[in-house]
Amino acid sequence: MRLNAIPSVRSLALVCGLSLASALVVPAYAADAARPTALVIHGGAGVITRDQLSQADEAALRADLDRALDAGNAVLKNGGAALDAVSAAVQVLEDSPWFNAGKGAVFTADGTHELDAAIMEGHTRRAGAVAGVRTVRHPILLARAVMEHSPHVMLAGEGAERFADTRTELERVPNTWFDTPRRRQQLDAAREREQRQAAGENIPLPKGAYFGTVGAVALDQHGHIAVATSTGGMTNKRWGRVGDAPVIGGGTYASARCGISATGWGEFYLRSVAAHDVCARVELRGDPIAVAAEDVINRIIPAMGGDGGAIGLDDEGAIVMPFNTSGMYRGWIHPDGRRGTAVFREP
């Protein structure tokens, strides 16, 4: 009975052959199928409390987050590149007065606006960035132009403006186009605080003064990742201050397996090379992106004295949105199609 139960060599060969043939068919089919896409965006982390945000204002800014998701997702669902998706999403956020980028940019100490942006494509490691831009409506498009039409990675100040003069496709606006009443009130409050400090009052800088950025990270049907980040910087900033947003590796970074766009107290993100640190842990050590992002954003940066948040995803479409402030404007579309927007911590 036992001998009869043992399959013959011929039978084993047939079974193994069929199994092997079946196994070989599956990857070929999978290779022909479009991979799921994913998209995550943010409109900045900071001191956002429920009593400071009316229901009407929250509805308005969530609507802009949804419009940015729609713009990026339309590119991805049509088979477009992650680079085009993050460009589309960030342009919507740059046109919104609710976020500190483009139209919603904060004022400098001189009462003007200086805008920064960066973009990076993970599988090629191509990158472009600009800092201290004054007249380009969509700084993210200028950053992309630096990447695609110059031999450089970052241009700043007057040089960036002169390069923009060579790109006729870029829309230019007067610096006052970026003015909004809410940002003017924030500048007035910052100036008053400085005057009181100069008079001897001990008034610490309020947390959240450094915050305000927009960003997007996308995974396309080819498995490619791209990241874009744009910001108006810090209210009442001086001396051409540049934060982490336009610095590749600081507030913006993408590799073949990971993409991160950060938002927070830029000086600490620069010192910790936060965006690169997260992706290096994913690529080199094999950490899950959730573990890597949690450790960098919610342990290392607070231990240094900073705070903020970040968004990111990996090459499987796993999305992360860690933050250690009271709120972070954010939106997401998972590979399975689930989507949403949020401001505060979800229960």
What is the per-residue pLDDT across 46-83, written as a single tens digit (0 to 9) for each?
867 777 788 999 999 999 999 999 999 999 999 999 99
CB-CB contact of 215 with 117 (8 Å):
no
Task: Write down the mean pLDDT value for the chain.
Answer: 89
**DSSP secondary structure letter of residue 298:** I
Amino acid at 300: I
Rounded Cα–Cα distance for residues 9 and 99 (Å): 70
Instruction: Give 308-345 pLDDT, tens digit per residue.
Output: 999 999 999 999 999 999 899 999 999 999 999 999 98
What pLDDT is attached to residue 13? 40
The size of the chain, in residues, is 347
CB-CB contact of 134 with 163 (8 Å):
no
pTM equals 0.89
Query: Tokens 């607070």 belong to which residue?
Result: 302
**Among 37, 108, 135, 213, the one annotated catalytic:** 213
What pLDDT is attached to residue 33? 67
Q: How many CA atoms lie within 13 A of 102 on its CB side?
A: 25
Rounded Cα–Cα distance for residues 326 and 340 (Å): 19
Tell me if residue 49 is catalytic: no
Rounded Cα–Cα distance for residues 344 and 338 (Å): 19
Give just the sign of the alpha carbon dihedral 176, 180, 186, 189: positive
CB-CB contact of 114 with 134 (8 Å):
yes
Along the chain (347 residues), what's the average pLDDT of each consecutive run of 10 residues? 39 38 37 82 86 89 97 98 98 97 96 98 98 98 98 98 98 97 91 87 66 92 98 94 97 98 96 98 97 98 96 98 95 98 86
Rounded Cα–Cα distance for residues 228 and 262 (Å): 10
**DSSP secondary structure letter of residue 155:** E
Which residues of 234-284 form beta strands (DSSP E)? 252-254, 258-264
CB-CB contact of 261 with 318 (8 Å):
no
User: For residue 60, how many other CB atoms are within 10 A of its CB?
Assistant: 13
What pairs with residue 172 in β-bridges?
Answer: 136
Query: Tokens 């004022």 belong to which residue?
Result: 107
Give just the sign of the alpha carbon dihedral 133, 136, 138, 144: negative
101 three-class SS? coil
What pLDDT is attached to residue 202? 81
